């Protein structure tokens, strides 16, 4: 089929239901950390395409595994088992934190989050969930209910109230903008302790679970302080409420360990993984302990969940992560980024905060360091200008129009030279935006 760029753009405008703030750029090829658009322009991809391509674009082992699988068996109904699905279940049981060895496969992160909620509700008989300010758990009706307190997103729930649940919301550990106006460590982790208050006083029914991202992702890469998760774990244990980790963004090596919970030395009761798991192919999983792993016949399953080719991709991606030592690389390259950004913060006051773990890094832009007014337009400008100069960054966080936090989450195979390139482009853009 021969079709030119203008025609393709026109199809996009005429045919797609636009509901996403996006560029009209059409991407056509990717390799490693580089993605190319239809005009041939190359970009260093510091987004890993919604943070999924942990092993990089089109890793030959992943593509090879998928090709081999689709030649044998491309699809099979989930009620039957398939070899890659069983091998992946076994592999996950080996790499997961201790005890998390029972598995449900999902298609996308949002439905897997619902799977985790389902298990927790069946175990506890509870109906309420505790979730956190700035959380993001997905875009199905249930998961938008669990998400989105940022002003930019509250509007997506309007008019859907009948189907959107309301969780018990508690402040997250956002030290840069502490909701209690306190400072760590003299705060004595009040935000963590507040979860106990919520469990005691805020629920109308039994609480089915406390659900959070170990590092809040769409909230703006918000990293809790030391001791936070020990307190949350203590509270969940004391009240026998399952602790659910949404590791959809943080898991599969992104933060410099296989799972972010390992950085904070805490094991949840139920954990949800996705994104990097399939290295670009659609697969997610809920993993849990034996005691929560109970559903009745027919209570779970989607047409394509556990599809053989996506499981084959995930199996290959896990091998690549381990054998090519990409998790260690994430830690090293993450440190290089953090050092470079800390230096930039000394010269560019628009940088209010730099935070992250491994290759999950956020740069919070502010108009003024004293007032911390979110520099939303400037963050947008930075991302747009960097794209023009050939580097893709992400954006989320506080404020309208998608937030004020510039996000760096490249494939975990990024090299030192590419980190240098990203930092140089960022500095060039900061000079312009701040002038
Ligand atoms: C932390 C987190 N949870 C859940 C989701 C939802 O995943 P999906 O878009 O695959 O439904 C996302 C997606 O960005 C996410 O970042």
Go through the domains of the chain in sequence order and give each one's CATH number: 5-55+325-434 (3.90.1150.10), 61-323 (3.40.640.10)
Query: What would the mean pLDDT of 202-229 be, rounded to a whole number?
Result: 95
- Is the pLDDT at 23 greater than 80? The verdict is no
Spatial neighbors of 205 by CB under 8 A, at least 6 apart, are 126, 127, 128
Q: What is the CA radius of gyration of the chain?
A: 21
By CB atoms closer than 10 A (0-12, 13-18, 19+), residue 325 is: middle
Cα–Cα distance, 247 to 255 (Å, whole number): 10
Residues 104-134: pLDDT tens digits?
999 999 999 999 999 999 999 999 999 999 9
- Ligand 1 pocket: which of 117, 129, 137 to mutate (most atoms within 8 A of CB): 137
Cα–Cα distance, 152 to 167 (Å, whole number): 19
The token pair that represents 281 in the structure block:
């192919």
pLDDT-derived band at 153 (thresholds 50, 70, 90) equals: low
The token pair that represents 58 in the structure block:
């089109």
- Is the pLDDT at 270 greater than 80? The verdict is yes
Q: Is 286 in the pocket of ligand 1 (CB under 6 A)?
A: no
pLDDT for res 158: 86
137 Cα to the center of ligand 1, angstroms = 6
pLDDT for res 199: 95
Q: Is 84 in the pocket of ligand 1 (CB under 6 A)?
A: no
**Alpha carbon nearest to ligand 1 atom 4, residue:** 137
pLDDT for res 79: 84
Query: What would the mean pLDDT of 250-278 be, rounded to a whole number?
Result: 98
131 Cα to the center of ligand 1, angstroms = 15
Distance of CA 429 to the CA centre of its chain: 26
Q: Is 213 in the pocket of ligand 1 (CB under 6 A)?
A: yes
pLDDT for res 322: 98
Question: Among 34, 111, 398, which residue's Cα sits nearest to residue 283?
Answer: 111
Cα–Cα distance, 353 to 171 (Å, whole number): 19
Q: Is 249 in the pocket of ligand 1 (CB under 6 A)?
A: yes
Q: Is pLDDT larger for residue 213 or for residue 434? A: 213
218 Cα to the center of ligand 1, angstroms = 9
Q: Is pLDDT larger for residue 151 or for residue 62? A: 62
128 Cα to the center of ligand 1, angstroms = 21
Cα–Cα distance, 424 to 343 (Å, whole number): 12
Q: Is pLDDT larger for residue 79 or for residue 223? A: 223
Residues 375-423: pLDDT tens digits?
999 999 999 999 999 999 999 876 656 689 999 999 999 999 999 999 9
Query: Which percentage of the chain shows pLDDT scores above 90?
Result: 86
Question: Among 13, 14, 32, 31, which residue's Cα sits nearest to residue 22?
Answer: 13
- Ligand 1 pocket: which of 111, 145, 248, 252 to mutate (most atoms within 8 A of CB): 248
- Angle, vertex CA 330, rays to CA 325 and CA 335, nearest 5: 135
pLDDT-derived band at 13 (thresholds 50, 70, 90) equals: confident
pLDDT for res 263: 97
Q: Is 277 in the pocket of ligand 1 (CB under 6 A)?
A: no
Q: Is 138 in the pocket of ligand 1 (CB under 6 A)?
A: yes
14 Cα to the center of ligand 1, angstroms = 28
Q: Are 224 and 178 a contacting pair, CB within 8 Å?
A: no
Q: Is 219 in the pocket of ligand 1 (CB under 6 A)?
A: no
pLDDT for res 150: 64
- Is the pLDDT at 17 greater than 90? The verdict is no
Q: Is 396 in the pocket of ligand 1 (CB under 6 A)?
A: no
Q: Is 251 in the pocket of ligand 1 (CB under 6 A)?
A: no
285 Cα to the center of ligand 1, angstroms = 12
71 Cα to the center of ligand 1, angstroms = 30
pLDDT for res 143: 95
- The structure tokens 């659609």 sit at 282
pLDDT for res 181: 97
Spatial neighbors of 295 by CB under 8 A, at least 6 apart, are 104, 118, 119, 122
**Alpha carbon nearest to ligand 1 atom 13, residue:** 138
213 Cα nearest atom in ligand 1? 1
User: What is the widest separation between alpha-carbon atoms in the chain?
Assistant: 65
- Give the single-character DSSP code of 223: P
pLDDT for res 21: 59
Distance of CA 91 to the CA centre of its chain: 22
pLDDT for res 1: 60
Q: Are 219 and 212 a contacting pair, CB within 8 Å?
A: no
- Is the pLDDT at 278 greater than 90? The verdict is yes
- Is the pLDDT at 149 greater than 80? The verdict is no
Cα–Cα distance, 408 to 337 (Å, whole number): 9
Q: Is 105 in the pocket of ligand 1 (CB under 6 A)?
A: no
Residues 159-177: pLDDT tens digits?
999 999 999 999 999 999 9
Sheet of 128-132, strand order: 102-106, 284-288, 270-273, 243-246, 207-212, 128-132, 168-170
Specify the DSSP element, H or E, that contains 362: strand 360-365
330 Cα to the center of ligand 1, angstroms = 21
Q: Is 195 in the pocket of ligand 1 (CB under 6 A)?
A: no
Q: Are 286 and 271 a contacting pair, CB within 8 Å?
A: yes
pLDDT for res 401: 62
Question: Among 151, 153, 123, which residue's Cα sits nearest to residue 138?
Answer: 153
384 Cα to the center of ligand 1, angstroms = 23
Residues 296-342: pLDDT tens digits?
998 988 999 999 999 999 999 999 999 999 999 999 999 999 999 99
Cα–Cα distance, 242 to 291 (Å, whole number): 10
The token pair that represents 124 in the structure block:
């506890």
247 Cα nearest atom in ligand 1? 1
Mean per-residue pLDDT of the chain: 94
């Amino acid at each position: 089929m021969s079709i030119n760029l203008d025609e393709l753009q026109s199809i996009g405008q005429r045919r797609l239901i636009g509901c996403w703030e996006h560029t009209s750029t059409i991407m056509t090829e990717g390799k490693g950390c580089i993605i190319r658009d239809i005009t041939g322009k190359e970009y260093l991809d510091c987004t890993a395409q919604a943070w999924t391509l942990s092993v990089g674009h089109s890793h030959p082992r992943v593509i090879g595994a998928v090709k081999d699988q689709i030649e044998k068996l491309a699809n099979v109904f989930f009620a039957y088992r398939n070899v890659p699905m069983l091998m992946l279940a076994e592999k996950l049981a080996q790499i997961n934190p201790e005890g998390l060895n029972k598995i449900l496969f999902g298609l996308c992160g949002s439905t897997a989050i619902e799977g985790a909620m389902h298990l927790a509700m069946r175990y506890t008989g509870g109906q309420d969930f505790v979730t956190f300010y700035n959380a993001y758990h997905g875009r199905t009706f249930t998961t938008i209910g669990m998400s989105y307190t940022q002003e930019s997103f509250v509007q997506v729930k309007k008019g859907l109230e009948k189907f959107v649940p309301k969780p018990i919301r508690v402040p997250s550990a956002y030290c840069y903008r502490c909701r209690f106006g306190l400072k760590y460590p003299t705060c004595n982790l009040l935000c963590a302790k507040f979860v106990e208050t919520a469990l005691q006083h805020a629920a109308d029914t039994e609480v089915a679970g406390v659900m959070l991202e170990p590092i809040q992702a769409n909230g703006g890469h918000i990293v809790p302080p030391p001791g936070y998760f020990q307190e949350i774990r203590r509270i969940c244990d004391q009240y026998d409420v399952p602790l659910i980790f949404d590791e959809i963004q943080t898991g599969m090596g992104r933060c410099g360990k296989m799972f972010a919970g390992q950085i904070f030395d805490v094991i949840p009761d139920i954990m949800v993984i996705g994104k990097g798991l399939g290295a670009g192919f659609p697969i997610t999983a809920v993993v849990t302990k034996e005691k929560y792993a109970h559903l009745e016949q027919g209570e779970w399953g989607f047409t394509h969940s556990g599809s053989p080719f996506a499981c084959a991709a995930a199996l290959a991606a896990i091998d690549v992560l381990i054998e090519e030592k990409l998790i260690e690389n994430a830690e090293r390259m993450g440190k290089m980024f953090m050092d470079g950004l800390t230096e930039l913060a000394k010269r560019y006051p628009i940088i209010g905060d730099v935070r992250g773990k491994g290759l999950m890094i956020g740069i919070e832009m502010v108009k003024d360091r004293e007032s911390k007014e979110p520099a939303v337009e400037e963050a947008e400008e930075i991302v747009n200008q960097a794209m023009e100069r050939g580097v893709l960054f992400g954006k989320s966080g506080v404020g309208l129009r998608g937030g004020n936090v510039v996000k760096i989450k490249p494939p975990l195979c990024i090299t030192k030279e590419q980190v240098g390139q990203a930092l140089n482009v960022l500095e060039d853009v900061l000079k312009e935006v701040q002038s």
